[in-house]
Structure 1
Amino acid sequence: MIKRNPFLAALFSLVTPGTGQIYNGQLKKGIVFLFFPMIIVIIFSVSNLLTSFQGFINMIGVILLFNLYILIDTITISIKRKSIQRTALNKWYIYLLIILVMPLVFFMSERNIAGLRTFITDGPSMQPTLIANTRFMITTNTNNLMHGNIIIFNAPEGKMYVKRIIGIGGDTVEVKNNSLYLNGNEINEPYLNEKDNMDFAQYTVPEGAYFVMGDNRAQSHDSRAMGPITKDNIIGKALFVIYDNGKIVFNKKL
């Protein structure tokens, strides 16, 4: 029999929730608790609840509340049991391995299962929608892209850009008299920094491609110069702003 230390059990749970249960001899419960955050991420992702800042905050709230429950459970059990039967898993290096590996597993699940990443703008081309050094959430799910979506993509020269989709395969795009025309119809663009469009002749977007422009047209290197963007080069679609102008931003959907 080996004694259990409530303080150490609590510390394990604070660092990696679920490890405290394994420390207390509750292997099955510990494994479930270790993977619970990933299950929550999957549920919120499948339910399309992560497309808004509020949904993201709700997910974090659920995970934090459950982590609090795990912490209380860990301390309570360690006090009640006081000691447990020694097993091969009750080794310090097993706890260390769990603490090191599980955050990486959770990080990979967030990126690969939910398809979530954060991105930071580094220039003025999308002002005023996205000023320089704005951090925002993107999804790597690029199915069903629409006019007006803001995307992140790899440009032909190897750089990553953030631009707004103006035209989709088959569309005609034209700027004349300082106004944008899509398929012959003038488009209202309330997101522009200022209405400073350089005229360019009518252009037909190739099938499977996207014509993109920055909201700050006067300072944007976009499809007017680099040509259309293919879907293979698109990294993700912007969802919402997280941090802007030195402060956390609530509910600014993109």
Structure 2
Amino acid sequence: MNSEITNEKNKPRNPILAFFFSLFFYGFGQVYNGQIKKGIIFLLIELTLPFIFGFTRLGVFFIGFISILIIGFAFRIYVIYDATKTAKKLKIYKLKSYNTWYYHLAIIIGISTILWLYDSNTANSIMGVRSYIIPTTSNEPNIKLGDRLIADSKAYDQRKPNYGDLVVFQKKDSLKSSMYRIVALPNDKIEIQNNFLIINGKKCRTSFVKETKNGGLDVNEYEEQLPNGHKHKIYTFKKPFEENKRKIPEITIPENCYYLVGDNRDNAMDSRYVGVVNKDEIKGKIVFSYWGKTNDRINIDFTDK
């Protein structure tokens, strides 16, 4: 009878279960193997990493961002490997009090709740960066359709937005985010004539670059210089869709607000349509690209473009 009781309380660990437990629930593979302290430590490390990266501000640099991905991926692989390897060694395993289906279910629910509360948006907020995929051509030629960009959500904690900044914003009455370039600051007077900017009574310097195609349409490419000296390329259609948006009468930008326009001037739903953007509506400044449809879209620094 004692032998039967011993057999009931001893059950080898299944490496496949340990693998999948670790794959989907950080540290749960270790708990399954009876290493509850190690499992908790691994879970805490996973939850702490975003705070470390947020404090060091690594994510706002391409190399730092890639390092974060590599470290996170390597740690996940190690956790899975550790759980699987340990399970293979446990041919004889004395079941712990928490090695029951209802304890396991409670742990899964607990970890799932933590991860739900601590979702990617929360982690991104802590790290101070957020990733965006570009779905339009409204900022070509500088930002291409399909580019994957990183925005620094803490860029304006210590300084104010400036001319030329590419920023992500979300209007208070909208559910979606947009991204355009700041061309006018609070108290500036701005006017648009034939798609060219006049800021505080002075026309921004523009120089013709070339004729080209954009989405099958003929466009002219120019280099534009803003009042602070920031230079960037813009497109204007030879045959625009809406002629009236090429000419905007002079307005004064309210305090704490900014005027944003797309670099693809005839194909952007910018401040000419949605109005000025309040500083509180700005979610971050675009700093670099980490992926795109072609290899040349990797690691483009947008802080000076």
TM-score class normalised by the smaller sequence: 0.7 to 0.9
The TM-score, its normalising length taken from structure 1, stands at: 0.80
1:50 aligns with 2:63: no
1:170 matched to which residue of 2? Answer: 187
Q: Give the drift of 1:56.
A: 1.7
Q: Give the drift of 1:110.
A: 1.5
Q: Give the drift of 1:201.
A: 5.3
Q: Give the drift of 1:49.
A: 1.0
1:213-252 maps to which residues of 2 (within 5 A)? 213-245=261-293, 249-252=297-300
Query: Following the alignment from structure 1 to structure 2, what is the Cα–Cα distance between the partners of residues 209 and 201?
Result: 18
Could you list the per-position Cα deviations for residues 177-234 of structure 1 after superposition, in whole angstroms to 9, with x for gaps in the alignment?
8754545484523232359994655543222011111101122232244432112333
Q: Which amino acid aligns with 1:23?
A: Y
| Structure 1 residues 156 and 7: alpha-carbon distance in aligned structure 2, compared to 1, 3 A threshold | closer
Query: Which structure: larger Rg?
Result: 2
Deviates more, 1:223-232 or 1:33-42: 223-232
1:141 aligns with 2:154: yes
Could you list the per-position Cα deviations for residues 104-132 of structure 1 after superposition, in whole angstroms to 9, with x for gaps in the alignment?
33525323422543333333321122233
The 3-state SS of whatever aligns with 1:118 is strand
2:140 to 127, 133, 145: 127
Deviates more, 1:152-161 or 1:193-202: 193-202
Q: Which amino acid aligns with 1:22?
A: V
Q: Give the drift of 1:14.
A: 2.6
Query: Following the alignment from structure 2 to structure 1, what is the Cα–Cα distance between the partners of residues 282 and 152?
Result: 11
Contact 2:183 2:261 in 1 (8 A): yes
| Structure 1 residues 160 and 67: alpha-carbon distance in aligned structure 2, compared to 1, 3 A threshold | closer
Query: Following the alignment from structure 1 to structure 2, what is the Cα–Cα distance between the partners of residues 109 and 178?
Result: 39
Query: Following the alignment from structure 2 to structure 1, what is the Cα–Cα distance between the partners of residues 87 and 280?
Result: 52
Query: Following the alignment from structure 2 to structure 1, what is the Cα–Cα distance between the partners of residues 63 and 73?
Result: 15
Stretches of structure 1 lacking an aligned partner (at least 5 in a row): none
| Structure 1 residues 203 and 195: alpha-carbon distance in aligned structure 2, compared to 1, 3 A threshold | farther
1:30 aligns with 2:46: no
Contact 2:195 2:265 in 1 (8 A): no
1:88 aligns with 2:90: no
1:153 aligns with 2:169: yes
Contact 2:59 2:128 in 1 (8 A): no
Q: Which amino acid aligns with 1:153?
A: F
The 3-state SS of whatever aligns with 1:73 is helix
Q: Which amino acid aligns with 1:209?
A: C
1:74 to 69, 76, 83: 83
Deviates more, 1:29-38 or 1:241-250: 241-250
Contact 2:186 2:258 in 1 (8 A): yes
The sequence identity of aligned pairs, in percent, is 28
The TM-score, its normalising length taken from structure 2, stands at: 0.69
The 3-state SS of whatever aligns with 2:167 is strand
Q: Give the drift of 1:161.
A: 2.6
